[in-house]
Structure 1
């Protein structure tokens, strides 16, 4: 009987931990090679229009990722067509080269802040587009292929504010 009690307790704990999660989706990057021309799009609808939300971009990388930071360009499109475009920089590794993400083995996952206290007031589909904007030091041209990124995700959680 104690085995079943522990199993039920674990299931309840996992369910209760996710009650703040409003949306989560990952998109795989084929062969861990992200073309500069490949824009990832996430479509979100039917979120609580009174609740504030925090948005995160989740990135999974492996040891083939050759940089200590990551530059992304994002577009946040409202159902009415208004689009906000941002260029974002995230630190991915410590100065000694140790990855900042979580996970065991060669894949690390980083949860990166994107937007705080967003209220989805409009009915319809919100779109978030993500593309990389990486380039080598001293180079004007961007990288055609970014290696080492295996998945990119969008996560939206209810804000506690």
Structure 2
């Protein structure tokens, strides 16, 4: 009898796992960071991120962030970037955006350990991503200096912010 209960339990657990595997995966948070080659962000280096939404994900609002990791030796208080966004089935749209890294007193806004600072900078809150499919977002540094020194990583974070 004990042996039969273990078999039923195993079949039940396997059935639950199989049913869960058949459910489409919903996106709650996407985050990816890429290393900047040689810690020198050239205008030729344009990291692209691809976020795929399922139809059931399109009823939510999303917050979008740029992640920047740099050394304390970074010589500027900000970074200007060109953010290119391509919705599924649409043409890319480019926009120049300032990413502040310091406050007015010269203190880094991000969190730091030793001489490394990390920033999660909001670029859009409550974004409507109302098409299922793959969204492509790329970042190009748009400062006067090229390459831009002491930038370690650049990334994208997309998180669910609630229903529309």
Q: Above 0.5 in TM-score?
A: yes
Matches within 5 A, 1:22-101: 22-47=29-54, 48-101=57-110
Cα distance in 1, alignment partners of residues 127 and 148 from structure 2 = 30
Q: Structure 1: state its 5+ residue gaps.
A: 1-19, 136-142
Cα distance in 1, alignment partners of residues 73 and 150 from structure 2 = 4
Residue in 1 that maps onto 2:134: 125
Matched residue SS, 1:98: coil
Matched residue SS, 2:119: strand
Cα distance in 1, alignment partners of residues 131 and 139 from structure 2 = 22
- Comparing both structures, which one devotes a greater share of its residues to strand? 2
Deviation per residue, 1:47-81 (Å, 9 max, x gap): 51111111000111112311011111101101112
Do residues 154 (structure 1) and 156 (structure 2) align? yes
Larger Rg: 2
How far did residue 26 of structure 1 move? 0.3
Cα distance in 2, alignment partners of residues 106 and 21 from structure 1 = 32
Matches within 5 A, 1:133-148: 133-135=142-144, 143-148=145-150
Q: Structure 2: state its 5+ residue gaps.
A: 1-26
CA contact (8 A) 2:60 2:162 kept: no
- Comparing both structures, which one devotes a greater share of its residues to helix? 2
